[in-house]
């Protein structure tokens, strides 16, 4: 018996997981419009969904706190499981780009 490590092979609810992930991505794109520095990463841990993303550093943190709480609360209610949003801030999107020599 081969164990799947996070991919969707032989998982019982493949279509539901893909649909939920696409819904989460669309919701984040609409809610965090022009604030994202990179794509998001969605991880499922038991009954919890963790969303990781880099955002551009704002001058005022109050909207970031509001959007974080809004996103976590609304997605938790819609998906019927706890959702945790973990953010890292960057001054500019190019700070994340590096070259290997």
Domain containing 70: what range? 15-92
> CA 5, 9, 12, 16: dihedral to nearest 10 degrees?
100
Number of domains in the chain: 1
Cα separation, 15 vs 50, whole angstroms: 19
Rg of the Cα atoms in the chain: 16
pLDDT of 6 over the 90 cut = no
Residue 98 within any structural domain of the chain: no
Residue 97 within any structural domain of the chain: no
Q: What does the pLDDT look like over 24-66, one tens digit per residue?
A: 999 999 999 888 888 899 999 888 999 999 998 888 889 899 9
Q: Using 50, 70 and 90 to split pLDDT, how confident is the model at 9?
A: low
Q: Using 50, 70 and 90 to split pLDDT, how confident is the model at 2?
A: very low
Strands 83-90 and 41-45: unpaired
Residue 4 within any structural domain of the chain: no
Residue 6 within any structural domain of the chain: no
Residue 52 within any structural domain of the chain: yes
Q: Report which DSSP code applies to 101.
A: -
Decide: pTM greater than 0.85.
no
Cα separation, 7 vs 100, whole angstroms: 28
Percent share of the chain, pLDDT over 70:
83
Q: What is the CATH number of the domain that holds 84?
A: 3.30.70.1350
Residue 58 within any structural domain of the chain: yes
Residue 19 within any structural domain of the chain: yes
Residue 9 within any structural domain of the chain: no
């Amino acid at each position: 018996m081969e164990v799947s490590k996070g991919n969707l092979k032989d998982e019982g609810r493949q279509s539901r997981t893909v649909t939920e992930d696409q819904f989460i991505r669309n919701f984040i794109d609409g809610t965090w419009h022009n604030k994202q520095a990179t794509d998001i990463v969605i991880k499922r841990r038991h009954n919890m969904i963790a969303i990781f993303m880099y955002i551009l550093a704002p001058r005022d943190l109050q909207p970031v706190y509001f959007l974080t709480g809004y996103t976590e609360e609304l997605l938790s209610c819609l998906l019927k499981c706890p959702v945790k949003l973990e953010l890292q801030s960057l001054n500019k999107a190019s700070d994340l780009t590096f070259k290997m020599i």
